[in-house]
């Protein structure tokens, strides 16, 4: 049972988090930030002296204002704008923050960005995602110069494709140091893993913290529930410290006598390892915790685990407040908190070795505390992950130990490489086995259900205060029930007041999907979520002002699932959003559902293959090609982003087809025969990929270059 007061670090961390959340959802005008910060500091200081008995309340309020201030200065809550339009951008320069492999391309996230209109450079510091061909490796803290760019998305963050680009040398000594470490380790891997490509990929991710991960390898680890073993974090730093203590085993008496000196050596080793892995948030969190623990031990004022977690969170958020909305940050702190509380409060398992007992309890604690975060952000988890972790965490420890030895002991690499590749291969086989047998549990709870889950956990752990946490859990359930019912009530009110109109489909020129299906009391807007603002504008203006129940039917799962939705909500607020079920895999999904949609009181649902929604159903979904069928009394309408004879042949049978629409149409002789056999009245398209049909055509062939409406009796 946990007793005692709340750690001092939490008293600082929680108000800071509150301030960041306030700035995110209720942003303070940028011009007022400094004034509010200065005035709040003065008043907090004065009232702390005058009302000394409740001075802690004024300190907490000042920390909250500080959170608002640093979040606002980091751009949270604001939309950054350039002094010229995105079309006028001629070149971009930025520092590499992250690199991910996407098939034959690299997706590079840039920060500290500068934009040029061909005359002058502007420091905009916008987040850029650059899509580059996979020609050479790109490292963190490198600078890239992009020219001849094509902007695909222009919102809070933009995605560009660059025809011409080159890398620049790092600017600062720190960046040069990181770059040198990355290039050195990469040359070592290339030399020694020349015949072990798969093991090299796992070694890069597991030991070096490389994000150049192969998608198929990543998916296997996700399904096995052991992807955290590929993300360098506190677990890996623990492996490093154990590895160093094994090396110093023969001089353990000297180590014990001069523990302060050796603790500083361990801290230096951790800092170097953080540099090798790129100073990512999980490893920084672990390094800060260890550093706080070591410094406290040196000055002989030890701190407990929760205290060090609180200070680590405070320091990270003070420097990078946007990390609060990162799934990696949330998972890292949830797992560490779970491990510490489990080791302290779950009873020991008797008749087994102490190290095995600690491992089991730590894994259980980490799993229990990360499940709500996984469900909230990704909408899924894998129950076999508990068993998989019990087996694969020790196996991963062996692989990491050998990997560290491989990097440190250069003279023995020829011997170590044999055992290292075997350990990585065994680890991979075990992970793949668990991924194949592990079922997937899909559920997307709202933010209040996530809170409820944690309150129940705390009620079990803090048994002396269980009544408080049970009351908070019940309040969270009530809040979730109210939020869930609000959109349904709005839907019923709109439906009753809507005027009766004939059925109509309006198709708008687009890249993939953009059309509206208008019925008596409901209007469904089908959109691919990859359409630009200029393309969407005509459709949104057509939808605006109609007294109907509006539904957004999103067909795709893009990287950015927030900005386009924000643009659409400026015109009309839907009662329901019908999403592609694969959107649950997006890292921002939980935030979009729990904060964005919940705050707007918009109900979320998911379309399913071959299941009907208001006469609509997805009847084909392969290789990026999607076909939607709409059945009316006049016949079936097909709406697709691409149609050819092979796709049409795979569609479910329908006795009568009214209209076929395809953004891209491959009109072959075979497709012509199919369309004539089914007595299709008209075929609409935006672009012909090729045409081999013969005249005369038994149907109307219409090219769309502006909005086109189909009406039904």
pLDDT confidence tier of residue 381, bands split at 50, 70 and 90 = confident
pLDDT average, residue stretch 96-121: 76
| pLDDT digits 0-9 by tens, 399-426 | 888 988 898 888 888 898 999 999 988 8
Distance CA 496, CA 612 (A): 22
pLDDT average, residue stretch 391-398: 84
Residue 53 located in a structural domain: yes
CB 529 within 8 A of CB 539: no
Residue 491 pLDDT greater than 50, yes or no: no
Strands (E), 528-594: 549-554, 576-579
The beta-carbon contacts of 689-694 under 8 Å, at least 24 apart in sequence, are 689/642, 689/644, 689/664, 689/665, 690/666, 691/667, 692/667, 692/668, 693/667, 693/668, 693/669, 694/669
Residue 236 located in a structural domain: yes
pLDDT average, residue stretch 335-354: 81
pLDDT average, residue stretch 13-41: 84
**Average pLDDT of the chain to the nearest whole number:** 79
**Together in a domain, 517 and 664:** yes
pLDDT at residue 661, as a whole number: 92
Distance CA 268, CA 271 (A): 5
pLDDT average, residue stretch 16-31: 84
Domain boundary among 441, 475, 491: 441
pLDDT average, residue stretch 129-157: 70
pLDDT at residue 83, as a whole number: 61
Residue 92 pLDDT greater than 70, yes or no: yes
Give the CA count within 13 Å in the CB-facing half-sphere of 96: 29
pLDDT average, residue stretch 328-340: 81
pLDDT at residue 487, as a whole number: 42
**Together in a domain, 279 and 418:** no
pLDDT average, residue stretch 293-298: 74
Distance CA 623, CA 121 (A): 41
Query: Residue 150: what are its φ and ψ, rounded to 5°?
Result: -125, 115
**Together in a domain, 556 and 649:** yes
**Together in a domain, 156 and 219:** no
Give the CA count within 13 Å in the CB-facing half-sphere of 600: 20
Residue 397 located in a structural domain: yes
pLDDT at residue 707, as a whole number: 87
**Together in a domain, 207 and 276:** no
pLDDT average, residue stretch 225-240: 77
pLDDT confidence tier of residue 526, bands split at 50, 70 and 90 = very high
Distance CA 229, CA 213 (A): 13
Residue 125 located in a structural domain: yes
CA proximity to 313, closest of 271, 342, 284: 284
CA proximity to 694, closest of 712, 713, 710, 676: 676
| pLDDT digits 0-9 by tens, 55-78 | 778 888 888 888 888 888 877 876
* Number of domains present in the structure of the chain: 6
pLDDT confidence tier of residue 6, bands split at 50, 70 and 90 = low
pLDDT confidence tier of residue 495, bands split at 50, 70 and 90 = very low
**Together in a domain, 565 and 706:** yes
Alpha-carbon separation of residue 603 from 276, 432, 446 (angstroms): 45, 37, 11
**Together in a domain, 628 and 653:** yes
Domain boundary among 301, 325, 349: 325
CATH number reported for the structural domain that contains residue 152 in this entry? 2.40.50.140
**Together in a domain, 571 and 517:** yes
CB 501 within 8 A of CB 518: yes
| pLDDT digits 0-9 by tens, 348-378 | 877 778 777 887 888 888 888 888 887 777 6
Residue 102 pLDDT greater than 70, yes or no: no
Residue 553 pLDDT greater than 90, yes or no: yes
Give the residue, 4 or 266, on which the prediction is more confident: 266
Residue 499 located in a structural domain: no
**Together in a domain, 667 and 696:** yes
Give the residue, 710 or 294, on which the prediction is more confident: 710
Residue 463 located in a structural domain: no
**Together in a domain, 511 and 609:** yes
CATH number reported for the structural domain that contains residue 581 in this entry? 3.60.15.10
Domain boundary among 288, 305, 325: 325
**Together in a domain, 522 and 669:** yes
Residue 490 located in a structural domain: no
Residue 573 pLDDT greater than 80, yes or no: yes
Residue 149 pLDDT greater than 60, yes or no: yes
| pLDDT digits 0-9 by tens, 241-291 | 888 888 887 777 887 777 778 888 888 888 888 888 877 777 887 788 777
Residue 93 located in a structural domain: yes
- Please, which residues bridge with residue 56 across strands? none
DSSP H helices in 544-666: 563-569, 589-591, 598-600, 645-650
| pLDDT digits 0-9 by tens, 176-217 | 777 788 788 888 888 888 878 778 888 888 888 776 555 566
**Together in a domain, 524 and 651:** yes
Domain span at 111: 86-171
pLDDT at residue 644, as a whole number: 87
Alpha-carbon separation of residue 20 from 59, 62, 540 (angstroms): 16, 13, 32
Poorest-pLDDT segment among 401-415, 459-473, 476-490: 476-490
């Amino acid at each position: 049972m946990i007793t005692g007061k709340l750690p001092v670090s939490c008293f600082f961390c929680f108000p800071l988090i509150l301030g960041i959340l306030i700035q995110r959802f209720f942003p303070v005008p940028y011009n007022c930030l400094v004034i509010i910060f200065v005035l709040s500091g003065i008043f907090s200081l004065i009232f702390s002296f005058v009302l000394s008995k409740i001075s802690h309340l004024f300190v907490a309020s000042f920390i909250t204002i500080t959170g608002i201030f640093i979040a606002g200065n980091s751009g949270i809550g604001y939309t950054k704008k350039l002094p010229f339009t995105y079309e006028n951008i001629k070149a971009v320069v930025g520092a590499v923050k992250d690199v991910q492999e996407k098939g034959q391309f690299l997706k590079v996230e840039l920060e500290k960005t500068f934009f040029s209109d061909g005359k002058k450079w502007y420091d905009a510091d916008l987040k850029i995602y650059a899509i580059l061909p996979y020609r050479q490796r790109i490292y963190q803290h490198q600078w890239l110069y992009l020219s001849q760019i094509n902007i695909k998305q222009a919102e809070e963050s933009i995605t560009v494709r660059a025809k011409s680009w080159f890398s620049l040398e790092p600017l600062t000594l720190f960046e040069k140091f990181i770059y040198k470490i990355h290039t050195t380790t990469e040359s070592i891997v290339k030399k020694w893993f020349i015949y072990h490509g798969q093991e090299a990929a796992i070694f890069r991710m597991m030991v070096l913290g490389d994000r150049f991960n192969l998608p198929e390898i990543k998916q296997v680890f996700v399904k096995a529930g052991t992807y955290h073993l590929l993300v360098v974090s506190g677990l890996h730093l623990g492996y490093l410290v154990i590895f160093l203590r094994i090396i110093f085993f023969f001089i353990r008496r000297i180590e014990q006598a001069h523990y302060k000196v050796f603790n500083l050596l361990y801290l230096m080793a951790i800092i170097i390892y953080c540099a090798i892995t790129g100073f990512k948030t999980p490893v920084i969190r672990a390094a800060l915790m260890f550093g706080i623990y070591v410094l406290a031990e040196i000055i002989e004022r030890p701190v407990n685990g929760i205290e060090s977690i609180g200070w680590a969170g405070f320091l990270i958020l003070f420097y990078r407040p946007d990390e609060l909305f990162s799934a990696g940050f949330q998972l890292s702190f949830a797992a560490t908190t779970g491990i510490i509380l489990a080791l302290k409060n779950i009873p020991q398992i008797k008749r087994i070795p102490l190290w095995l007992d600690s491992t089991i309890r730590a894994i259980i604690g980490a799993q229990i505390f990360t499940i709500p975060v996984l469900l909230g952000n990704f909408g899924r988890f894998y129950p076999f992950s508990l068993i998989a972790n019990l087996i694969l965490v020790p196996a991963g420890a062996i692989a990491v130990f050998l990997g560290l030895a491989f990097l440190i002991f250069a003279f023995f690499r020829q011997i170590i490489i044999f055992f290292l590749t075997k350990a990585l291969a065994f680890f991979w086989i075990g992970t793949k086995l668990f991924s194949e047998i592990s079922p997937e549990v899909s559920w997307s709870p709202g933010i209040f259900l996530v809170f409820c889950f944690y309150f129940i956990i705390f009620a079990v752990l803090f048994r002396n205060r269980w009544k408080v946490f049970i009351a908070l859990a019940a309040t969270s359930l009530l809040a979730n029930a109210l939020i869930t019912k609000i959109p349904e009530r709005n839907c019923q009110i709109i439906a009753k007041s809507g005027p009766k109109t004939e059925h109509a489909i309006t198709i708008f020129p687009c890249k993939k999907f953009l059309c509206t299906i208008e019925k008596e009391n409901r209007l469904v807007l089908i959109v691919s979520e990859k359409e630009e603002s200029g393309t969407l504008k005509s459709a949104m203006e057509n939808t605006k002002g109609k007294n109907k129940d509006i539904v957004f039917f999103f067909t795709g799962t893009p990287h950015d699932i927030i900005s386009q939705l924000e643009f659409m909500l400026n015109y009309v607020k839907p009662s329901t959003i019908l999403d592609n079920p694969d959107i649950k895999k997006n890292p921002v999904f939980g935030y979009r559902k729990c904060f964005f949609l919940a705050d707007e009181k918009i109900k979320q649902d998911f379309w399913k293959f071959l299941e009907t929604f208001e006469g609509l159903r997805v009847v084909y979904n392969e290789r990026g090609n999607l076909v939607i069928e709409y059945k009316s009394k006049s016949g079936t309408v097909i709406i697709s982003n691409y149609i050819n004879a092979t796709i049409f042949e795979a569609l479910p049978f329908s006795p009568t087809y009214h209209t076929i629409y395809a953004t891209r149409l491959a009109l072959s002789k075979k497709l012509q025969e199919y369309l004539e056999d089914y007595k299709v009245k008209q075929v609409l398209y935006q672009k012909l990929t090729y045409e081999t049909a013969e005249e005369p055509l038994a149907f109307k062939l219409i090219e769309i270059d502006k909005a086109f409406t189909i009406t039904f009796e």
